[in-house]
């Protein structure tokens, strides 16, 4: 089996996680929170970050720049 690499389309945007953003970190306990998908009609998908002890604290819209 030969590996010729991965072909990436020109219109694909690749984002790298920014460790300074803090959206995954619980502000109460400092734990790394679990991402959970969420969505609603007309609003698209959102990713909620939920601390097992303190509940949801961040909601990220990964496609905000596409609307």
The confidence score (pLDDT) of residue 54 equals: 92
The confidence score (pLDDT) of residue 21 equals: 62
Distance CA(14)–CA(11), nearest Å, equals 10
* pLDDT tens column, 10-58: 876 666 556 566 778 888 998 888 888 887 777 778 888 899 899 988 8
Above 60 in pLDDT, residue 62? yes
> Rounded to two decimals, what is the model's pTM?
0.56
For residue 26, is it within any domain?
A: no
Distance CA(49)–CA(36), nearest Å, equals 6
Type and span of the H or E element at 58:
strand 55-60
For residue 6, is it within any domain?
A: no
Above 60 in pLDDT, residue 2? no
- Residue 51: which domain range? 34-66
For residue 59, is it within any domain?
A: yes
The confidence score (pLDDT) of residue 40 equals: 72
């Amino acid at each position: 089996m030969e590996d010729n690499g991965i072909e990436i389309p020109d219109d694909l945007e690749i984002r790298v996680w920014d460790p300074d953003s803090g959206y995954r970190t619980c502000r109460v306990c400092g734990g790394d929170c679990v991402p959970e998908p969420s969505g609603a009609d007309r609003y698209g998908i959102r990713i909620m970050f939920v601390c097992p002890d303190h509940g949801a604290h961040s909601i990220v819209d990964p496609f905000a720049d596409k609307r």
